[in-house]
Amino acid sequence: AQSVTQPDIHITVSEGASLELRCNYSYGATPYLFWYVQSPGQGLQLLLKYFSGDTLVQGIKGFEAEFKRSQSSFNLRKPSVHWSDAAEYFCAVGANRDDKIIFGKGTRLHILP
Amino acid sequence: DGGITQSPKYLFRKEGQNVTLSCEQNLNHDAMYWYRQDPGQGLRLIYYSQIVNDFQKGDIAEGYSVSREKKESFPLTVTSAQKNPTAFYLCASSVDAGNNYGYTFGSGTRLTVV
């Protein structure tokens, strides 16, 4: 069965610094991969997704993620964070067409002024 | 604009009472989902429906019930059998049962048992 792991529960970075959130997945074939963001008390918003093709995926709000098959990873990056990026971030993996998407437990991002 | 509407945003329930959370979508999506979110536990799937008049249990279905009589609507009932119902509940939908497009989420309902 597929699974997804986000090793970091909390990450703190300074405003203007670069960001990388880690995500590792377990699945035999090429999965569908997603990153979502959740502000406090809100639903989840899709940042970006990967199905196939170019392994570097661009998303909304200046985020990007890179699929690395050899490392079973799909890390989320942003060159320079803004205070408004403080939120919880969820990595998710989908497998077969009729299977459900599995979500990681999330990484909460804190921004220092 | 198309989207998912969850209501109410906040809900208070006395112990022993059933309560129903509303989820409506105007995206013409076939599949709909209910998740429960607790601090530090991520999202846990309660029920999902891939087509009208059909639904399946997720990982934590005990104490919950759903119906899917219309494509747009997927209400969740939290019954008195649910021992710890206080949580944040999220409804989601997708174009179909596949994973091509990901899920669209509502803004959630926070249920508190008093």
Query: Given this model, what pLDDT does residue B70 score?
Result: 97
Strand ranges, E, within chain A: 3-5, 10-14, 19-21, 24-26, 32-38, 44-50, 56-58, 64-68, 73-78, 87-94, 102-103, 107-112
Alpha-carbon distance B49 to nearest alpha carbon in chain A (angstroms): 11
User: Is some CB atom of chain B closer than 8 A to the CB atom of A4?
Assistant: no
Query: Given this model, what pLDDT does residue A96 score?
Result: 65
Query: Given this model, what pLDDT does residue A6 score?
Result: 97
Angle CA(A33)–CA(A94)–CA(A81) in degrees, nearest 5? 30
What is the per-residue pLDDT across B51-95, written as a single tens digit (0 to 9) for each? 999 999 999 999 999 999 999 999 999 999 888 999 999 999 998
Residue of chain B whose alpha carbon sits nearest to that of A9: B40
Percent pLDDT > 90 in chain B is 82
Q: Do B42 and A104 touch (CB under 8 A)?
A: yes
Per-residue pLDDT, averaged over A49-67, amounts to 94
What is the per-residue pLDDT across A87-97, written as a single tens digit (0 to 9) for each? 999 999 987 66
What is the per-residue pLDDT across A47-57, written as a single tens digit (0 to 9) for each? 999 988 889 99
pLDDT surpasses 90 at B25: yes
pLDDT surpasses 70 at A98: no
Query: Given this model, what pLDDT does residue B86 score?
Result: 95
Q: Do B107 and A42 touch (CB under 8 A)?
A: yes
